């Protein structure tokens, strides 16, 4: 009887090991971002420019390794009347050198920011959910007095990274949302792979800015154009 119980326990342990996910440190995640355009653009004037579109979907790849991540927009095959309404930034996070490279597509020109990696203070909760087959916990970042950002991260994917410029949690962010649900990112597929970042990454331009330098330059240009000022605020929201 004792041998029989030992055999059952051994088989059970193999079963548990077989169904649990091993931690991964290199791979690519496909994210889908849904933007509620009516929540983002609330004035009648801006909503006229939306031409009836209420929700816009954009897709991105997040390539990651223990030392670096690359967040890259996926070109849409279906043109949208509201392509201008959402940002499609490229972000490289170099964790070894504490360096972030962000590329903003502004009115047909790519502007490049090279700066330190952004840091945020997170509150990790006990709330859990599954995303793309991975168990995640919820964390909260208080962006300002009236706005919280919610992130769902998994420790089954080791690098501390996520969509856009996000990082700083003990694992990879697979879900991200504003408090009002106006902007939501969710991982759709996750594949383990070894990435050639040199080949994947855009070339660094000769002229680069810090984030504060670029923001100041654009704000000066927008002084006579309130509409442009609102667009600039959305560019740097993450």
Tell me the pLDDT tens digit for each residue of 176-202. Answer: 999 999 999 999 999 999 999 989 988
**CB atoms < 10 A from the CB of 210, how many?**
12
d(CA 154, CA 213): 35
Token pair, residue 198, equals 């040199």
User: What confidence score (pLDDT) does residue 83 get?
Assistant: 78
3-state percent helix, strand, coil for the chain, nearest multiple of 5: 25, 40, 35
Domains (ranges, CATH) in the chain? 22-208 (2.50.20.10)
d(CA 108, CA 155): 38
Whether 86 has a pLDDT exceeding 80, the answer reads yes
Whether 228 has a pLDDT exceeding 50, the answer reads yes
When pLDDT is cut at 50, 70 and 90, the band that residue 20 belongs to is low
Cβ–Cβ under 8 Å, residues 202 and 192 = no
- Higher pLDDT residue, 78 or 87? 87
Token pair, residue 78, equals 């279906």
d(CA 107, CA 92): 21
Q: Which of 218, 238, 237 is nearest to 229 (CA)?
A: 218
List C-alpha distances in Å: 42 to 48, 54, 82, 161, 180. 10, 11, 15, 31, 13
Token pair, residue 184, equals 């939501």
User: What confidence score (pLDDT) does residue 11 get?
Assistant: 43
When pLDDT is cut at 50, 70 and 90, the band that residue 108 belongs to is confident
The string of pLDDT tens digits covering residues 49-59 is: 777 788 899 99
**How many percent of the chain have pLDDT more than 90?**
56
When pLDDT is cut at 50, 70 and 90, the band that residue 80 belongs to is confident
d(CA 1, CA 6): 9
pTM: 0.86
Token pair, residue 167, equals 């990082």
């Amino acid at each position: 009887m004792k041998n029989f119980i030992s055999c059952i326990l051994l088989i059970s342990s193999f079963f548990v090991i077989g169904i649990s996910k091993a931690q991964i440190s290199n791979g690519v995640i496909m994210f889908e971002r849904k933007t509620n355009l009516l929540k983002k653009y609330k004035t009648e004037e801006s909503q006229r420019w939306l031409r009836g579109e209420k929700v816009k979907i954009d897709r991105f790849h997040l390539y990651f390794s223990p030392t670096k991540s690359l967040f890259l927009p996926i070109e849409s095959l279906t043109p949208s009347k509201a392509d201008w309404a959402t940002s499609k930034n490229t972000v490289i996070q170099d964790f070894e050198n504490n360096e972030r490279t962000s590329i903003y597509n502004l009115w047909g020109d790519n502007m490049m920011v090279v700066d330190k990696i952004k840091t945020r203070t997170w509150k990790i909760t006990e709330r859990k959910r599954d995303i793309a087959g991975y168990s995640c916990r919820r964390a909260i970042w208080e962006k300002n007095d009236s706005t919280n950002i919610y992130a769902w991260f998994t420790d089954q994917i080791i690098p501390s990274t996520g969509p856009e410029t996000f990082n700083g949690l003990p694992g990879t962010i697979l879900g991200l949302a504003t408090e009002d649900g106006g902007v939501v990112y969710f991982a759709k597929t996750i594949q383990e792979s070894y990435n050639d970042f040199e080949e994947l990454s855009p070339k660094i331009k000769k002229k680069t800015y810090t984030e504060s330098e670029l923001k100041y330059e654009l704000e000066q240009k927008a002084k006579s154009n309130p509409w442009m000022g609102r667009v600039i605020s959305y560019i740097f929201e993450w």
